[in-house]
Amino acid sequence: MNRFARRTVATLFLLLASTSCALLPGINNLPGLELPGMGLTSAEDFLKESPPVTTSLSDAVTEVPSLDGFEPETIAPMRELPRGLEGGFLLLPGVWEMDVRSYCLQAGTHAPSSGAGHSYAPLKGPKADIVQHILQNSALHPEIPQRDVQVLLWAILARTPITQMPRGYQLTAAKLLTPKELLALDRSVVEVLTPIVRQHALATLPASVRRVFEAENQLREKLTQTVEAPFEELERIAVLAGVAPTEAGGRVVQRGRWSYHPDGYFVRYFASSYTETKIQVYLPDQPFQLERDEAGNILRVVMESPQPHTNTGGTVMLASSRPVAASAGMTQAGGTSPGSSGPGTSGGLKEYEPSGNVAVPAGGGQRLGQSSGKPGAGQGSEEKKTKKAVEALKKYRDITGLFEHGWGQVLAIPSAVFDWLLDFQLAIGFKLVEDLRGDPPRADYKIIASVERLPFTPLKARAGLSPALAASLNALMEASTDMNAKLRAATISLDRQGGALQDKDKVWSDEQARAIIYYKAESGKSMLVLADRLEALVKTLRAEGVTARPVTAETARKYQARLRDNGFTPEELAAAKQAGMTGEEVAFLLKERIEATPQEMTGDIFESLTDSIDALRFFGKRLVTLPSVAPGKHLGLSTSRASLEGAHLPGQSG
């Protein structure tokens, strides 16, 4: 068997190991399989080969120093954006931000310091496609720890034989890479260099290159041991402690510097460590031009009129400190043509996918790749706030059902229908708030959703129900029906965009994406209104001396037993239908209340309301930062309900 055939067999065993129900024996110990010395074995051969990733500061050629003073006033969460046909975030005009997991793409270099700046550069090199594929696929495999993904990247950068790595890393590789990619990696590996060869090579290399050379050789040695090396040991080899040295007369990259992305927007990075990076993307809402010097450096970004997202206030955003060359020229940018109505209207919405970009520092710092999957550890504070908000809404959904007629026992509401309706409206509305993620695709994606508010019969003051309390409850019901209607429009738009993506219809995918963002922004406004009205209700209740006994575990058990044995009553189901709940939503709420733990179902209704108010404000403030772009505008449609519902793109059948 020749060398290539043996490597092919070894790789196929690796792939088999990834799909087997039971772990196979270590690949290197398989009977009859002899893994030969592979690839390059001398320092000279090593130095002749291009490294797997070649991106360097010299590739960061689109910095825009003139934007160093541009700090956006409004920043929207990028993760609220829908994805496009290529898997990237569909950009609408504005400034977008997200925290991501980032990865070291050059061993033997210093981790980012607190003041380090990074510039955009494209991911380049012989194995750039494979590295990008790993970054993309890691987002689809949240079960794979970030550390394991990083070790695989270090292995590729060091040209380590994947088939000689411990079994766990082999399985990670098989999950994130295709068979073709695994074979490609197996053809360009390097053996651990002997001390004599290493000494000869190191004597001829510059210090910065020598550090990388030595780190990669040590990684190969550790990663091909039978026993898996501790991650901390690998990290100490790959990530140098301390601040990267500055080069005399070298290039300086200011922290938070914007770079122009060739797809027609601006991007910048804030790295807090090599494992986590904040990304901001800025897409102007009108055409712009780039003014360059003779060498192609971007001097200025010229807008047609002041930008609402800036605090610079001028038509030209901050002139560069570099002199304008006599032959400086203007380059049309922004993905528009003269006379167009804004970026993205010609050719559709732009997609932003971070995995193809590299954040490159000046000096000897680490170049960083990014994955758009699970947020990095630096998102911890935000993640905790989100989790707390979700738990508060769930607590409300569980605890309110424990009253014999929802709110009735507490507030003496004279109308059971109103009581049940309020319970279900708020319960399913809070479910929509926390889980606006999209359901199975819908085939009717050539229709723009409309807001359909469900009617209700207002309460009237009577004995036991003061005018103030009746007015407060009616206002609360009105706000909850408004929020639910907008959230439903958003979820319908999500489902319809899924259908457009499934059919690879970019026109309607983009239009449904605009509808998603519009209805999310509108929902955010309604959440803030609902929070205010819940707070007003609590104040009214306290002012009138209304109290509620804490829900006990015994009360919870009786309620759950009733639901488990008989489900919701016919009257409750009628109220759920009036609230616009689907059969799936009724089943979800029933299952959630039956399966809730005592801790989730017991407590004080007023405490639950206060926590829910905070949660609604948390989500509301997040969503109101989204741009409000009326759906149907780009199709020439009116936004009235009559014209939106059933509207189709001219020239297409629906």
Q: What is the pLDDT of residues 65-108, one digit of tens each?
A: 999 989 998 999 998 999 999 999 999 999 999 999 999 999 98
Q: Is the separation of the CB atoms in 39 and 190 below 8 Å?
A: yes
Structure tokens at 299: 């001097």
Rounded CA-CA distance 223/166 in Å is: 7
- The helices-and-strands tally (H runs, E runs) of the chain is 20, 16
Backbone angles phi, psi at 369, to 5 degrees: -95, 160
Cα distance between residue 215 and residue 229, in whole Å: 15
Tens of pLDDT, residues 412-467 = 444 555 656 677 777 777 777 766 655 678 999 999 999 988 888 888 888 778 89
Q: Give residues with Cβ within 8 angstroms of 247, minimum separation 6.
A: 362, 363
Distance (Å) of CA 107 to CA 156, 230, 366, 437: 11, 16, 8, 37
Average pLDDT value for residue range 274-288: 92
Which two structure tokens, joined as six digits, stand for 140?
A: 């689809």
Confidence of residue 592 (pLDDT cuts 50, 70, 90): confident
- Predicted confidence (pLDDT) at residue 12 exceeds the cutoff of 70: no
Q: How far apart are CA 289 and CA 299, in angstroms?
A: 11
Q: Are 569 and 406 in contact (CB under 8 A)?
A: no
- Distance separating alpha carbons of residues 21 and 577, to the nearest angstrom: 46
Q: Does residue 163 carry a pLDDT above 90?
A: no
DSSP 339-356: T-SSTTSSS--EEE-GGG
- On the question of pLDDT at 311 being above 70, the answer is no
Exposure pattern of 365-397 as b/e (b: 16+ CB <10 Å)? bbbbbbbbbbbbebbeeeeeebeebbebbbbbb
Query: Which of 82, 110, 169, 99 shows the shortest CA–CA distance to 134?
Result: 169
Predicted pLDDT of residue 193: 56
What does the alpha-carbon distance between residue 301 and residue 66 come to, in Å, rounded to a whole number? Answer: 8
Q: Are strands 94-104 and 76-77 parallel, antiparallel or unpaired?
A: parallel
Tell me, what's the pLDDT at 51? 87
What's 536-588 look like in SS3? HHHHHHHHCCCCCCCECHHHHHHHHHHHHHHCCCHHHHHHHHHCCCCHHHHHH
Beta strands 239-240; 109-110: pairing state:
parallel
* 310 phi/psi in degrees, rounded to 5: -110, 165
594/435 Cα distance (integer angstroms): 20
> What per-residue string of b and e applies to 507-524 under the rule 16 or more CB within 10 Å gives b?
ebbbbbbbbbbbbbbbbb
What is the tens place of the pLDDT at every residue in 515-526?
A: 999 999 999 999
pTM higher than 0.95: no
Q: In this structure, are residues 508 and 446 in contact, taking their beta carbons and an 8 Å threshold?
A: yes
Q: How far apart are CA 91 and CA 72, in angstroms?
A: 16
| Cβ(124)–Cβ(53) below 8 Å | yes
Mean pLDDT along residues 368-380: 69
- Label residues 229-263 b or e (16+ Cβ within 10 Å = b): beeeebbebbbbeebbeeeeeeeebbbbbbbbbee
* DSSP codes, 593-631: HHH--HHHH-B-HHHHHHHHHHHHHHHHHHHTTS----T
> What pLDDT is attached to residue 246?
67
pLDDT reported for residue 286? 85
Tell me the per-residue pLDDT of 357-368, one tens digit each, with 9 for 90 and over.
Answer: 999 998 778 899
Q: Are 240 and 132 in contact (CB under 8 A)?
A: no
Tokens of 543: 């002012």
Q: Is 3 helix (H, G, I), strand (E, B) or coil?
A: helix
- Give strand pairing partners of 332: 289
Predicted confidence (pLDDT) at residue 336 exceeds the cutoff of 60: no
pLDDT grade, residue 283 (50/70/90)?
A: very high
CB 449 within 8 A of CB 515: yes
Which of residues 411 and 530 earns the better pLDDT score? 530
Burial class (CB in 10 A: 0-12, 13-18, 19+), 490: buried
pLDDT in tens, 225-250: 888 999 999 999 999 887 766 665 56
Q: Which of 415, 335, 362, 163 is nearest to 255 (CA)?
A: 362
User: Is the per-residue pLDDT at 284 higher than 50?
Assistant: yes
Q: Among 149, 218, 179, 187, which Cα is nearest to 49's?
A: 187
User: Within its chain, how far is the Cα of 616 from the centroid?
Assistant: 21
| Mean per-residue pLDDT of the chain | 77
Confidence of residue 265 (pLDDT cuts 50, 70, 90): very high
Dihedral sign for Cα 157, 159, 160, 162, please. positive
pLDDT at 394: 65
274 residue type, one letter: Y
| Residue 181 token pair | 């990619």
- Count other C-beta atoms under 10 Å from residue 593's C-beta: 23
Q: Is 365 helix (H, G, I), strand (E, B) or coil?
A: strand
Check if the beta carbon of residue 444 is closer than 8 Å to that of residue 496: yes
**Cβ proximity of 334 and 284 under 8 Å:** yes
Tokens 């033997």 belong to residue: 108
The CA distance from 191 to 222, in Å, is: 12
| Confidence grade of residue 171 (pLDDT, cut at 50, 70, 90) | very high
Q: How far apart are CA 370 and CA 136, in angstroms?
A: 9
- Contact yes or no for 217/193 (Cβ under 8 A): yes
> Quick one: DSSP state of residue 431?
H
Residue 3 in this model has a pLDDT that exceeds 70: no
**Most confidently modeled range among 207-221, 510-524, 631-645:** 510-524
- Among residues 84, 104, 101, 102, the alpha carbon closest in space to that of 92 is found at 84
Whether 520 contacts 436, CB under 8 Å: yes
At residue 124, does pLDDT exceed 90? yes
Rounded average pLDDT over 606-613: 82
- What local confidence, expressed as pLDDT, does residue 326 receive? 31
Interatomic CA distance for residues 210 and 193, integer angstroms:
14
Model confidence at 151, pLDDT cuts 50, 70, 90, reads: very high
Q: What percent of the chain has a predicted confidence (pLDDT) above 70?
A: 70
How much of the chain exceeds pLDDT 90, in percent? 35
